[in-house]
Amino acid sequence: MTNPADIKFGLDTFGDMTVDDNGNPESAGQVIRNMIEQAKLADELGIYGINVGEHHRDDFAVSSPDTVLAGMATVTKNIKLGSGVTVLSSEDPVRVYQAFATIDGLSNGRAEITAGRGSFIESFPLFGYELSDYNALFEEKLELLVELLKEQPVTWSGSVRAGLTNQQVYPKTEGGAIPLRVGVGGSPESVVRAARLGANLALAIIGGDPARFAPFAKLYRDYLNELGKPQLPVSIHSPGHIAETDHDAVEAQWPHYETMFGRIGRERGWGPTTKNHYLQEVKYGSLYVGSPETVAQKIAYAITAVGAQRFDLKYANGPMPHSKLMKSIELYGTVVIPRVRELLAEQPAVAVA
């Protein structure tokens, strides 16, 4: 069982390109500077962590999350600083380790890595990789990153990069390790891989009832037991927006949700993004949009249903203005998180198996 007081709450952002309060598009530079302010506020509110995504498209400002996290490290004191996700298939694991070891030094031990395949494919041609090598690239590079994070001499060989023989990689961290999560979107093979490598599991739940991911959490824990490894935390990543009332939150998020998912849908051949679908996700699915009480109730349900030890709210979804994002973060830290802990304490605890 997990004590509600031990549940961790974080924030996720992909650095969506935004508009200002008058609806005028902002530059990528302004978006990144705003992200620094968002991290500062989250830190002041005592939120556990903030994770920055990686994309290589014109609708997101961040292609180099480690650089943004380094900036956040210099203006925050306590908040954990992680990627969400590092698109490992098109990265060099050695450079990933070195970048986050540097962030760890800047932040006095607050760096985290969440490695994943990513939800877009732009990085493959950009960095000269073949999409047909999708599985091998991620599998081999993740295995190498796990070895690098042990901070010992590395001997490794594979097909996707040059091998290493008793190779030291620098800098070393003061704490001796950087926490690693593997982002999973619903593949049993990915869940088993995370367990086999002893990496924490991060479930990306972006639609539908979060309870449908409970079997993945159970599979992960069962494999850890079977492999004789200690139980490790499971986290949930889901999108949302918080305002003073349900109506304000729903109406504020909708046009930006429509812009974001409408574009992605057109690119991928999905049907049109309708407000009815949006409202169904708000009411029944994994879209955490509403007043603090509404969002707290939904988060408590998700944590209980999955048996999670951490919840990360993706607070930026489409071109919503910085001022509304800051208010959402404020309500999350001051009202939602304490209320979720109260709700979980009434159960009285969260099952992990």
So what's the pLDDT on residue 353? 45
Tell the CATH topology of 4-345.
TIM Barrel (3.20.20)
CA separation, residue 141 to residues 22, 85, 138 (Å): 44, 14, 5
d(CA 111, CA 158): 27
**What per-residue confidence (pLDDT) applies to 118?**
83
- 143-196 pLDDT, tens digit per residue, is 999 999 999 999 999 999 999 999 999 999 999 999 999 999 989 999 999 999
Structure tokens at 248: 């304000």
Q: Is 314 helix (H, G, I), strand (E, B) or coil?
A: strand
CA–CA dist 96, 148 (Å, integer): 10
pLDDT value of position 285: 97
Neighbours of 203 (CB within 10 A): 25
Strands 234-242 and 200-204: parallel
What is the model's pLDDT at position 141? 98
What local confidence, expressed as pLDDT, does residue 1 receive?
57
Instruction: Report pLDDT for 348.
Output: 55
pTM score, two decimals?
A: 0.96
Residues 6+ apart with CB under 8 A from 338: none
Residues of the chain falling short of pLDDT 50: 349-353
Do 94 and 160 touch, CB atoms closer than 8 A?
no
Residue at token pair 């995504």: 53
For residue range 266-315, list pLDDT tens digits in order: 888 888 889 999 999 999 999 999 999 999 999 999 999 999 999 999 99
- Please tell me the predicted confidence (pLDDT) of residue 272: 84
